[in-house]
A and B are shown apart, each in its own frame.
Chain A
Amino acid sequence: MSIPPFEVLQPESLQEACELLGKHSSEGAAVLAGGTDILVDIRRPIIPEHLPRCSGCDPKTLMPRKAVEKPPAYMVALSRIPDLSGISEAKNGDISIGSMTTITQICESQLVREKLTALAEGGDNLGSPLVRNRGTLGGNICNARPAADALVPSVALGAQLELQSVNETRIVSVSDFVTGPGRTIRKADEVLSKVIFPALPEMSGSSCIKLANRKALEISVVNVAAVLTLDKAGKISQAKVALGSVAPTPVLAEKAAASLIGEKPSDDLFKEAGKTAAGECKPITDHRGSALYRVDMVGILVKNALQKALERAR
């Protein structure tokens, strides 16, 4: 069996979940949402770790790549906690999405499709129907992969995260939350309860594009999310561009976004912004794509994403 044994705990309230996480933190306790990341990540390598590798092998790279240092002895499942899933719009237009909301629910929500198009499109690009039915927004964000298909648009849309622990509730921005591949500022006893997307002004539009070698079940070679707002004169008043798979975390291409402000949208403008964004990332070469290709594609995808966002803003 490649999945090591663990015990599943099923708290009925958020408070209880936080307590259990705190109580078992020394033995290792992980939050279990849809399980589509964590159950894959804790697999044991088929070839036992104690066997000596060849001198050229980096001892850290095992097969499969070991994503979790120590498999948790406990899984704290969120499935029985009421009110963790659902999508709602506040009076001020902020949209709040419960962390246990599945990717399918997000993709099927008219509200999200209309107001947070980039997130819906990111969701469309994620995995397959099976994975989308189980995988959650909270899981995608907390797993903190630089390519994550719901995380990258969340960064562009300026999502705020509500983190709940035994003693406190805090709100942090998603950009501050993710610190590295698989790494976040989440404390051991914290649960992400909801994700708040600040209302976008009138005349806003967003989009998300993924580049990969096939049309489903893919980890992006590059993914890009863009958000644009136009003023009454038709000039760009706000812009955000987020890049995935080009750095250890999703990146906000700030110079590219800044270059758009106050400008009249045009193909040339977007093309230049693409070039600027390409200069703002430092991807690596791995088996999914070379750094050169990725930089090249950032330029093209940013331009395309901005064009799509513009169509929707108008």
Chain B
Amino acid sequence: MSDYRILNTRAPRVDAFDKVTGKAKYTDDLSMPEMLFGAILHSPQAHARIVKVDTTEAKKLPGVKAVITSEDTEGIAFGVSPARYDEQIFASERVRYVGDEIAAVAAVTPEIARQALDLIKVEFEELPSVLDAHLAMDDEAEQLHERYKNNIVQQVHWDFGDVEAAQKEADVIRTDELTSKMQDAAFLEPQSALATYDQGYLTMYSSTQAPHYIQRTLAMALSLPLHKVRVVKPAVGGGFGPKAACSSMELATCLLAMKTGKPVKITFDREQVFLHSRARHQFFHKMTTGVRKDGTICFLEHEALLDGGAYCSFGIATVYYAGSLLGGPYRLENMKYDGYRVVTNKPACGAQRGHGAVIARACFEIQLDRIAEELNMDPVELRLKNVREAGETTCNELYLSSFGMKEALEAVRDSAAWKNKRDDQPDGKGIGAACGFFVSGAGYPIYYSKTPHCTVVTKLNEVGGGVIVESGAADIGQGSDTMLAMITAEVLGIPLSDVRVMSGDSDLAVDLGAYSSRTTLMTGTAAKEAAESVKAQILEVIADKTGASIDDLDVIDGEVINSKGDLNIEELRHDFRMEHRGFRGIVKSGNLTFNEAARVAFIDKGSIVGTGKYSPPKLGGSFKGAAVGTSPAFGCSAQIAEVDVNLDTGEVTVEKITGAHDCGFAINRTQVEGQMQGSMMMGMGEALMEEIKYDECGRVINANLAEYKIPTSLDMPPLESIIIESHEPNGPFGAKEVGEGGIMPTIPAILNAIYDATGVRINELPVTPERIRTALRKAGKVNK
């Protein structure tokens, strides 16, 4: 067991009560006096020139306060990567997907806003639309953006080690492919934004994952001084990536507020969540891997094509991640990667849990199983033979400062009774394993900068007692506020209930946001540093006042303890008691309490504030694109899935998933398990059911959660979550990521299990009953 009092426990989340009782306020719950309601006019066409937008009638509708189009936006361009600012708040010349924004209105009721949309006239001149990622690269294909020749937004060409030489050493060489579909993150809370503009100050409440990036984009696009833009994140019902970038909806809300001088709120309908997307790309992977007879992996040649919809969004990072994160967790010294990210006339894709790496990982792990079969080797053994250990560096220069891959794989192997089940199962039952690898915080911000990735300001309550932690971190449901409170309470030696966390507000501190699984490692480190500073400042005063040596003092369970004997606190206590005449519960005897000490320190020094920051060390190699994939630490995980496939209908029942994840150190064990379970659930959905479907005109035909399937509670099997703690030297108390890495093994573990159950390989996700039945039929495995 650990020596900690608060860390590594199952402390209830600090927001649990508010969430369970419905007290927590999400953006759409907010309301302000005179608030107007906004609505957005989306394009009905996938690709068209805009000939004319006529808002005359809409403006005349009583109750309408503003109607804005591209004419009101001064041609502002924005996006995610500064090198690819290819988005506009409203399309000015052409629309590029069904859903592209054309205009917005603000009105006194939502119904009037909606009616105003019905009065806006738009004339289009249709353009040929490009819906197929492969065809998009043809020379004859219609080009979506002038700057993207052949519709390619970004290409990557990497060649690490010596693939050619390694080919000669390999005894078995296989080529496999895997195709996925665009996905939706299916968070519970649709995007919502509320903007106010008052005396030159813009305040935006938004259901965002990254207040900092929103703040920057708003200031840039609206030509406002950065310090006059404040972004506040109320409670957020999940993000998973699509809420990490500023959207034109957020910008439109601000423009409407600035134009009307009134607060304006826009909340997406679920269908708009699908139209806006920014969720997982569609991936086409082709991998050729060579291994020696003994199972040693010699090389990987990897080609990837990413369909990213109409705009770049996070696409540059996505296509880099798709290649770079195959550098781990195995010893792979020779790796060639050619990746292409293209634009098509579909909703833009961005980052989603396991950014860029999920389908690549699935393809590679499925291939490893096929190789194991050819070698007649147990697939877990094949993996164990190749896994890296702490202290190693991958061929693309990712340094593994801690790495419990072997431990994770052995843990699931043993816990799931792999050997028995693998060897001895009836037809239709199957078991499969896979591993995963992911960053624990991206090494660099999205824009070029040497900025700290986050800061934390911890302030002692001046009337005595607890502390307030001020952070810009975005708790989007993953529990980062609880993590910050636990670290602070642990460092200060006080109860969790004496720490209040204020976060997700750009006025409080800088924080790049909840993406790339960074918050625990980065903001946790900053919080630790800030709390340590507060503690030192208090103890310094106490040492001074009592004559004890500061090195002998500590705060334990809310009391100041002198390891060298008693503390002389008579006078301090007397003063404290005199200050609190009439107060009840003032201690008379015993050790000096933290409350007393804090008050004494404040009276002596005035405000006591501790600050902390996190800046990653210099990371990565010197090759082009080396920055993407770098991280101060890497998480890894292994999973084993057990399935039952109905060979008549193709229906798959996942019966159990056993997962192990190396999170370095579990700040909160329940939350670590929660992230692991959420990842497994999401991965299972992506493996078996999730798919955005388009018609031939580029319209999403399943833009709701009835038709876009994610697993229900009845679909979920028992999940076993095993925590591996490898003690990461760069993380607070040894902690690193668990937010995204846990999804990596799920898809391939399930697909490998389906193969074990059926003997048929399916190279297209999701693996629906129909795809299985079709594969069985093709393989002649269907009873006549």
List chain A positions with a Cβ less than 8 A from chain B.
1-2, 5, 40, 44, 46-48, 50-57, 61, 63-64, 128, 211, 213-219, 221, 287, 289-290, 293, 296-297, 300-301, 304
Asked if B45 contacts A214 (CB within 8 A), the reply is no
A196 to B396, CA, bound (A): 72
Binary flags per residue of B768-784, CB closer than 8 Å to A gives 1, else 0: 11100110000000000
- CB-CB nearest 5 A-B residue pairs: A215-B714, A216-B712, A293-B770, A51-B44, A54-B45
B246: chain A residues within 8 A (beta carbon):
none
Asked if A287 contacts B697 (CB within 8 A), the reply is no
Interface assignment of B98: CB less than 8 Å from any CB of chain A: yes
Q: Which of B655-711 contact A (CB under 8 A)?
A: 688-689, 693, 695-697, 699-704, 706-707, 709, 711
Nearest Cβ distance between residue B711 and chain A, in whole angstroms?
Answer: 6
Nearest Cβ distance between residue A160 and chain B, in whole angstroms?
Answer: 31
Interface assignment of B86: CB less than 8 Å from any CB of chain A: no
Interface assignment of B111: CB less than 8 Å from any CB of chain A: yes
Stretch at the interface among B114-122, B224-232, B313-321, B399-407: B114-122
Asked if A215 contacts B712 (CB within 8 A), the reply is yes
A216 to B117, CA, bound (A): 36
Asked if A63 contacts B700 (CB within 8 A), the reply is yes
Asked if B648 contacts A300 (CB within 8 A), the reply is yes
B770: chain A residues within 8 A (beta carbon):
221, 289-290, 293
Q: Bin chain B's interface residue count.
A: 35 or more
List chain B positions with a Cβ less than 8 A from chain A.
41-46, 48, 98-99, 110-111, 114, 117-118, 120-124, 126, 129, 269, 271-272, 275, 648-649, 651, 688-689, 693, 695-697, 699-704, 706-707, 709, 711-715, 768-770, 773-774
A211-B651 contact, Cβ under 8 Å, with A46-B271, A48-B41, A54-B129: yes
Question: Which of A48, A57, A211 sits near B697, CB closer than 8 Å?
Answer: A57
What would 9 more interface pairs be, CB under 8 Å, given A48-B118, A63-B271, A293-B774? Answer: A1-B111, A2-B269, A46-B272, A46-B275, A47-B44, A47-B98, A55-B126, A213-B688, A221-B769
Asked if B715 contacts A296 (CB within 8 A), the reply is no
7 contacts between A and B (CB under 8 A): A47-B41, A50-B121, A51-B44, A51-B122, A53-B697, A54-B44, A54-B124
A143 to B44, CA, bound (A): 29
Asked if B45 contacts A63 (CB within 8 A), the reply is no
A50: chain B residues within 8 A (beta carbon):
118, 121
The secondary-structure label for the interface of chain B is loop
Nearest Cβ distance between residue B641 and chain A, in whole angstroms?
Answer: 16
A46 to B129, CA, bound (A): 21
A64 to B275, CA, bound (A): 12
A52: chain B residues within 8 A (beta carbon):
44-45, 122-124
B269: chain A residues within 8 A (beta carbon):
2, 46
B695: chain A residues within 8 A (beta carbon):
61
A53: chain B residues within 8 A (beta carbon):
44-45, 697
Nearest Cβ distance between residue B677 and chain A, in whole angstroms?
Answer: 18
A120 to B324, CA, bound (A): 53
A5 to B110, CA, bound (A): 11
B701: chain A residues within 8 A (beta carbon):
63, 287
Asked if B689 contacts A300 (CB within 8 A), the reply is no
The secondary-structure label for the interface of chain A is loop
Nearest A residue to B712 via CB reads A216
Asked if B117 contacts A64 (CB within 8 A), the reply is no
B774: chain A residues within 8 A (beta carbon):
293
Question: Which of A54, A63, A217 sits near B706, CB closer than 8 Å?
Answer: A217
Nearest Cβ distance between residue B28 and chain A, in whole angstroms?
Answer: 13
A301 to B695, CA, bound (A): 30
A1: chain B residues within 8 A (beta carbon):
110-111, 114
Nearest Cβ distance between residue A73 and chain B, in whole angstroms?
Answer: 15
Nearest Cβ distance between residue A54 and chain B, in whole angstroms?
Answer: 5
A84 to B764, CA, bound (A): 49
A63 to B271, CA, bound (A): 9
Nearest Cβ distance between residue A64 and chain B, in whole angstroms?
Answer: 7
Nearest B residue to A61 via CB reads B695
Nearest Cβ distance between residue A49 and chain B, in whole angstroms?
Answer: 8
A289 to B768, CA, bound (A): 10
A46 to B46, CA, bound (A): 15
A5: chain B residues within 8 A (beta carbon):
111
A64-B45 contact, Cβ under 8 Å, with A213-B688, A214-B712, A300-B649: no
A296 to B98, CA, bound (A): 35
Asked if B714 contacts A216 (CB within 8 A), the reply is yes
Asked if A211 contacts B46 (CB within 8 A), the reply is no
Asked if B44 contacts A64 (CB within 8 A), the reply is no
A296: chain B residues within 8 A (beta carbon):
773
Nearest A residue to B275 via CB reads A46
A304 to B709, CA, bound (A): 26
A2: chain B residues within 8 A (beta carbon):
114, 269, 271
Nearest B residue to A5 via CB reads B111
Nearest A residue to B37 via CB reads A1
B768: chain A residues within 8 A (beta carbon):
213
Nearest Cβ distance between residue A59 and chain B, in whole angstroms?
Answer: 10
Question: Which of A48, A63, A214, A300 sits near B703, CB closer than 8 Å?
Answer: A63
A290 to B769, CA, bound (A): 12
Nearest Cβ distance between residue B507 and chain A, in whole angstroms?
Answer: 33
A40: chain B residues within 8 A (beta carbon):
706
Nearest Cβ distance between residue B694 and chain A, in whole angstroms?
Answer: 10
B129: chain A residues within 8 A (beta carbon):
54
B704: chain A residues within 8 A (beta carbon):
64
A44 to B272, CA, bound (A): 13
Nearest B residue to A271 via CB reads B783
Asked if A63 contacts B648 (CB within 8 A), the reply is no
